[in-house]
Amino acid sequence: MDRFFGSLARVVVRLRIPVILVWIAVAVVGTLTLPSMTSEINNNNSQFLPANAPSSRAAALAAPILGNATATSQVIVVASTTGAPLTAADQSAIARRVADLRTVPSVQRAEEIKVSPSGSAAQIAVTASVAASDIKAQKTLVAGIDSALARAGAAPGVAFHLAGAVATNVASQNSSSRTGHRVQSLSLLLIIVLLLLIFRAPLAAVVTLLPPAFALVISIRFIGALGANGLKISEITDILLIVLLLGAGTDYGLFLVFRVREAMATGMDAKDAVTHALVRVGESITASAGTVILALLTLLLASFGIYHDLGVPLAVGVGVMLLAGLTLLPALLATFGRAAFWPRRPHRIDPGRIGVWGAIAARIVRRPAVTLGIGVLAFAAVASAALGYHSGGFGGATSAPAGSDAATGNAIVASQFPRSSANPANLVLAYPRPVWTHPGVLVRAGNSLVGSHRFTQLSGPLDPNGTVLSPAQLTALHSRLGPPGRLPAVEPASAGVPPARYNAYRATAVFVSPNGRVVQFEATLRAGAQTTTAALDATPTIRHTVAAAAAASGATASGVAGQAAALYDVSATSSHDLVTIVPIAIVAIALLLALVLRSLVAPLYLIVSVALSYLAALGLSTLAFIDIGGDGGLTFILPFLLFVFLLALGEDYNILVMTRIREESRHRPLREAVVEAVGRTGPTITSAGVILAGSFAVIGIAGGGGSGGTQIQAIGFGLAIGILMDTFVVRTVLVPSAVALLGRYNWWPAGMSRRPAHAPREERRPGGGHGPVLEEAPDLRA
C-alpha cells in the first residue's frame, strides 16, 4: 500500500495544477448541467414503505376511491367565504375555477366533491397523473394549480387555498430546502472558525475545507441526477450528506495536513512533505472512508426505502470526498507549500514532549484494568437510560409549515368539515356486491365501528358531509340520479331532490367506489390526531377494530390507510431493519478492521467500544427528549442512524489511533508505544471529533426549524453527543486501556503478536524511517 500511495502522491504533486483545474471543471459542469439534490427531496416517509406493508395494501385496496397511490396524486382546493353560505354566483365562480384547473398539465380530473354543512366552504379534488413518489412533478403540479387560480383572478367573497397531503408535502419540501441551506451555511461557518482556532493560519483552514466543499458541490449534483432517475431522497439524506461531507471530510483533511506540517518541521520541502504524508496516512484515510462506505452500502439490504435509498447517495458522497482528499488536498498543499501555514511556521517539537493526552495515556497504562472497568461501568450506567426509549416521532413532514398556503387550507378543512379531516384515518372495506343495492352492510359496519368507541368522528357513505342518509334513501338516490361522481355541483332543476340531500349524495363519491364494492370511512381517532405518537401506537387496535367491522358486515377484505397507519408500518419496518442490518454491518466493519490492523483480536473490542458509545448516546437522547423534554417518543430513524454512523465514524478514529500504536510498537515497548501514539494522535482526534460533533450539532440548531421539528434536533443531538464521547473517552481512554491490557495479543495472529511486549527499544532515526512523528497536531490549549 505504501508503494501505491507513494506513486499516487508523486503523480498528484507533479500534476498539481491540472488536478486542481479538473476538480474546478467538474464542479462547474455538474452545477450547470445536473439537477440539485434538494429539488428531489420527498418528505412523505410512507412513500418509502414496501408494497407488502399493511398500510400499503390498504391504500391499494382503496385505490378505486382514493386513486392509485403509486401513479396519481390528489390535491384538495378548498373554497370558502368569510362565513356566509355560498351563493349561486359563488358556485359559478367555483365552477369556472374547476374548468381552469382541468387545463393544468397532467391533471386528469378536477371536480367539486363536497360542500360543508354550514354551506360556506366547498372542496375541489384535483387528480393528476403524477406519481406520489415524484416530488419534483408534485411541485410542478402545485405550481400549476396556483398559477391557474391566480390567472382566474379574485372571486369576490371567495378565497381559494390548497390543502391535503400533496400540498403539505410540497410546502414541507420547500421548507426542507431552506433548512438544508441553513445547515450548510452554519456548518461551513462553524468549521472555518474551528479550523482557524486549530491552525491559527487562515490559508491552512481554507485549504483543509476546500476539498470537502468541492465534494459536496459535486455530490449534490450527482445524487440529484440519481433522484431525477428514480432514486427516492428524503430530507434526512440531504441534511446528513451536508454534515457528513463537511464534517468527516474536514477530519480526513486534518489527518493529512497535520502530517504534512510535521514533515515540513523536519526540513522537507512542500512537495516531499506531501508525498511523505500521503504515504503515512493514505491507507488510514482510505480505510476510514472505506468503513463509512461499507457501513452505508449494507443499507442496500434494508426493506425500508429511506434506509435502502440512504446508502447509495451518502456512499457516493463519501467516495467523492475520499477522492478529493487523496488528490485535490495534496495538490493544494503542494501548490501553497509553507505559505499555507503563515503566519505560523512548522517547528520541531521536543521528542520528549508527549502533551496532555500523552500524560493521560501514561496514567492509563499503569492501571489499565481499573481504568477500563470504571469506564465500562460509567457507560453502562448512562446506557441504562436507553431502556426508556420508545418510537413515536415521525422524522418527516407531518403538517404543513406555519404560514404556508397549505397550512391555511388544512385549517379551513378542519374547521369547515368537522366530520372529515384534511388528514383522516381511512378505514377501508371491500364487499362482494355493490352497496348501492345492499346498503344494510353499511349500517352494520358503521355500528360496529361506532360501538368500538375508538373514534371521536366517523364519516361514511350514510353521513358523507354531516347530512344523514338512510339506507333506503341511498338506494333511491342512486337509482334516480346515477353514480354520484358524475353529478354536477349545481343541482339540475329536473333532479327534484332537496339541496342538502343532493349535496350529501354527491359527497358519497368520496366514500364509495364507482362500482359500489369498495367503501371507506374517514375517522378521527380518539387516541389523537394522525400526527401524534398516540395515534401511531393505536394502529394495531384500529386494525383489529376494522377487521371486526368487516366480519360483522360481510366484507371480504379490509385495511387501515392514512398517515398514522403508514408511519406505524414505517416504525415496524425500521425496527426490523435495525435487527437485520446491524449484525451485517458489524461483521463487514470487523473484517475491514482485521485487514487494516492485521489482527483478529483488536476488531473485537473496537466493535464493543462502538456499541458502548452507541448505547450511551441513545440513553442520553432518551433522557434529554423523553424524560426531560417530555416528547411522546423519539423518531424511529434515530437508533438506526446512531448505530450506523457511530460504527462507521467511530472506527475512523480507531483506525487512526490503532495504526499509530502499531507503528510505534515496532520500535518500542507496547505501553510506551501507547503513550507516544495517544500523545501524538490525541490532539488530532480531539480536533477532528470537535469539528464532526459540531457539524452534527448544527442539525439540532438549524434543522429544528424544518418539517421534522424536534425529531431532527434529536438526531443532531444524538450523533453529536455520541461523537464527543467517542472522541474524549472511548478512543483516548478505553481503547488505549484495552490495548495496554492485552499486550502483544492485540496483533494476533500477525508476527507482531509473537514479539515480546517489552522488546528492547530501537534507536529513533531523525527525519525518517519508522521513528515516532515529531508533531501530529497542535495542542488545542496552545
17-52 pLDDT, tens digit each: 999 999 999 999 999 999 888 777 765 555 667 778
Q: Which residues of 198-210 are buried (b: 16+ CB within 10 A; e: fewer)?
A: bbebeebbbbbbb
For residue 421, report the phi and psi dihedrals to the nearest 5 degrees: -160, 155
Structural domains counted in the chain: 2
647 falls within a domain: yes
Same domain, 312 and 446: no
DSSP 773: P
Distances (CA, A) of 265 to 9, 590, 767: 19, 36, 9
Write out the three cell numbers for 328.
485535490
pLDDT in tens, 287-344: 888 888 888 888 888 887 778 888 888 999 999 999 999 999 999 999 999 899 888 7
User: 370 pLDDT exceeds 80?
Assistant: yes
Same domain, 612 and 587: yes
What pTM was computed for the model?
0.69
Same domain, 634 and 740: yes
pLDDT band at residue 779 under the 50/70/90 scheme: very low
pLDDT in tens, 534-571: 888 899 999 999 999 999 999 999 999 988 888 888 88
Same domain, 512 and 594: no
9 falls within a domain: yes
> Which secondary-structure segment (H or E) carries 429?
strand 425-430
- Provide the pLDDT for residue 770: 39
Same domain, 608 and 643: yes
pLDDT in tens, 68-78: 555 678 899 99
User: 706 pLDDT exceeds 60?
Assistant: no
Same domain, 534 and 465: yes
pLDDT band at residue 754 under the 50/70/90 scheme: low
137 falls within a domain: no
Give CA–CA dist 222/463, Å, rounded. 51
Q: What is the mean pLDDT of residues 569-592?
A: 84
Same domain, 622 and 505: no
Residue 281, classified by CB atoms within 10 Å of its CB into exposed (0-12), middle (13-18) or buried (19+), is buried
388 falls within a domain: yes
C-beta of residue 375 within 8 angstroms of C-beta of residue 737 = yes
Domain end among 561, 591, 607 = 561
For 70, residues 6+ apart whose C-beta sits below 8 A from its C-beta are 131, 132, 133
User: 611 pLDDT exceeds 90?
Assistant: no
162 falls within a domain: no
- Provide the pLDDT for residue 259: 84
Write out the three cell numbers for 473.
334513501
CATH number at residue 685: 1.20.1640.10
- Provide the pLDDT for residue 761: 43
- Provide the pLDDT for residue 778: 37
Q: 175-179, 395-399, 438-442 — which is least confidently predicted? A: 395-399
Q: What is the mean pLDDT of residues 460-472?
A: 87
Pairing, β 159-163 against β 121-128: unpaired
Nearest to 454 by CA among 326, 537, 545, 516: 545
The mean pLDDT value of the chain amounts to 83
CA 209 to chain centre: 24
Same domain, 557 and 584: no
Same domain, 607 and 548: no
623 falls within a domain: yes
More reliable by pLDDT, 184 or 749: 749
Nearest to 167 by CA among 78, 47, 259: 78
User: 144 pLDDT exceeds 80?
Assistant: yes
Give CA–CA dist 641/500, Å, rounded. 53
Give CA–CA dist 408/78, Å, rounded. 10
From the CB of residue 106, how many other CB atoms can be counted at a distance below 10 Å? 15
Q: Which residue has the cell 387496535?
A: 541
For 143, residues 6+ apart whose C-beta sits below 8 A from its C-beta are none
732 falls within a domain: yes
263 falls within a domain: yes
For residue 5, report the phi and psi dihedrals to the nearest 5 degrees: -70, -30
Task: Domain of residue 389: give its range.
Answer: 2-41+170-342+354-396+567-754
pLDDT band at residue 64 under the 50/70/90 scheme: confident
Write out the three cell numbers for 494.
329536473
- Provide the pLDDT for residue 212: 93
Q: In what order do the strands lie in the sheet with 455-459?
A: 455-459, 518-525, 425-430, 557-561
CA atoms lying within 13 Å on the CB side of residue 315: 18
Q: Which residues of 533-568 are buried (b: 16+ CB within 10 A; e: fewer)?
A: bebbbbbeebbebbbbbbeebebeebbbbbbbbbbb
> Which secondary-structure segment (H or E) carries 188?
helix 165-199
Distances (CA, A) of 597 to 231, 258, 287, 292, 313: 36, 22, 10, 17, 28
More reliable by pLDDT, 554 or 588: 554
- Provide the pLDDT for residue 2: 72
More reliable by pLDDT, 357 or 513: 513
Q: 629-638, 688-697, 728-737, 756-765 — which is least confidently predicted? A: 756-765
Same domain, 235 and 192: yes
For residue 295, report the phi and psi dihedrals to the nearest 5 degrees: -60, -40
